[in-house]
Amino acid sequence: MAVERTLSIIKPDATEKNLTGKINAKFEEAGLRIVAQKRLHLTKAQAGKFYEVHKERGFYDELCEFMSRSPVVAQVLEGEGAVAKNREVMGATNPAEADEGTIRKLFADSIGENSVHGSDSAENAAIEIAYFFAGTEIVG
């Protein structure tokens, strides 16, 4: 399997609970390397731009409010099959449906406040990584 990169975001519910280190440990235990990382407080407009594909969904405004409520940690994870591996480590979008031991099962409160975001394809990963990071900030 090819070495890939994927975009991860540790969301406000998780940074509020001081869970950045515990979540990073889950990525590293799964063989994903954190090759870029920055903590930032998104504006509602920045969150809205990132999640533009969900613009027509009923939860869009709530999602943008939530993502700009507190700091997030944007990250690039690297490893073999990183997109799929990260989705496995995160667990299902709805924590109630997530497998035991996954980040969302362990730490998330609800489908809206689900602790982490991960790119859903290699193609989207490239777009999402470029939203947060310059090439020079990614050190593999």
Contact residues for ligand CMP, defined by CB under 6 A: 54, 59, 62-63, 93, 111-112, 114, 117
Quick one: 26 or 117, whose CB is closer to ligand CMP? 117
Instruction: Give me the least distance between CB of 63 and ligand CMP, in Å please.
Output: 5
Identity (one letter) of the amino acid at 39? Answer: R
Supply the minimum distance, in Å, between the C-beta of residue 136 and ligand CMP.
Answer: 26
Which position among 8, 85, 117, 125 bears the catalytic label?
117
Is there a catalytic annotation at residue 54? no
Nearer to ligand CMP, 22 or 54 (CB): 54
Report the candidate in 86, 114, 98, 83 with the shortest Cα–Cα distance to residue 29: 86
- Which is closer to ligand CMP, CB of 30 or CB of 111? 111
Q: Which residues are catalytic?
A: 117
